[in-house]
Structure 1
């Protein structure tokens, strides 16, 4: 879907639709702009779409976590492979003392670089996941606040109509 590149964007656009529905609604009989008449079917259809979008957003979050874990596992595997290669190279080098020492130093350097690469990759993946979850959390908080506000406006309008005997 267009605009669904980041978790929460679909829900956010639906909340914007709800807000637009309320903003564009007309006051009953041209009076009292505090109360507005909206098409409840449209309102509830949008709420249903929001409810259906939650599982999709959670799936995206799980996919991101899985990708992060795969990236970390791949980096660890590469690091292990590099270390194994370095150790193998060290074993095959001639047994002369200086050559063996140089080979061990080279293997240590390769292992250190591989471990540093694995750490940097893991930190980057964790930072990315944290950004995604922060954005998702903000969107969900905004959605919850907007839905509560819309529900309250709807209830206030219904209560006012009941008190005025309009229903």
Structure 2
């Protein structure tokens, strides 16, 4: 059954309308999928308004319904198949792709989502599976600093050995 939806909304200029596109792999019963869903929820935690579009094969209906029930009422959640016009954002959501007006058609895959900023007219794929654990920015910066120090020491030692040989 195809959903046809039209929703109007007036927002202030400082609110940036975000659209997130995911697939139903986030709702599988596996440790990986649960971790990816948690990371996605962390990403949208402070979203004041937005749209979440889910390409679905209708395998995980119970899990998606639970997600819809738990998500903020400020967010519109729509599951495929659907032709929609939400807050002036129009598109066609299918089980294997999203065609959003004024953007190229895209497919999503496990461990990633696509974030649209409608006002800025940008589209970015976000990979939630790049790091095995969720790192806060400070922890990641500390790790990168440590890695830089280790590499710098290795280069210095290599240069010393090279100078002794020469």
TM-score band (shorter)? Answer: under 0.3
Higher normalized contact order (CA 8 Å, seq sep 6+, divided by chain length) = 1
| TM-score (norm: length of structure 1) | 0.24
